[in-house]
Amino acid sequence: MGARKKISAEKRKEALKTMYFAKLQNVPTSPRKMRLVADMIRGMEVNRALGVLKFSSKEASARVEKLLRSAIANWEQKNERKAESGELFVTKIYVDGGATLKRMRPAPRGRGYRIRKRSNHVTLFVDSKSTNDNQN
């Protein structure tokens, strides 16, 4: 069984070399609020997505904008050239729940109310439209 897992891990590493992504972990906002921002830019062209995020009033949009810029830079680094406008698209973006800090708030009659301070992990994939057409 150990050899089997090692092979799949190696395949996963090889597959990640051809993907262009960026991760943001342990963001101190709830996953639900972050998903609202992620849904706004899913499938968009990156320059348009950057504009949408820049002028969004949501607090989480500033973090996602920085993450998107990082993913674009990763694409440029792997392809050794600058991305042209209209070339890159947000192919996948997903938000997973992270660790939850549990706190207690004093309540009447000696009780305590639970407070859950949630966090999340965001993963954003960018790719050019031509490679997406070849895969489908």
pTM of the predicted structure, to 2 decimals: 0.84
Confidence grade of residue 84 (pLDDT, cut at 50, 70, 90)? confident
- Check residues 134 and 122 and name the one with the higher pLDDT: 122
Cβ atoms 97, 118 nearer than 8 A = yes
The candidate with the shortest Cα–Cα distance to 61, out of 95, 38, 27, 45, is 38
Query: At residue 22, what are phi and psi to the nearest 5 degrees?
Result: -145, 145
Q: What is the mean pLDDT of residues 47-55?
A: 96
Cβ atoms 111, 11 nearer than 8 A = no
Q: How do residues 16-37 score in pLDDT, each as one tens digit?
A: 778 899 999 999 999 999 999 9
Q: What is the mean pLDDT of residues 46-74?
A: 96
pLDDT of residue 57: 97
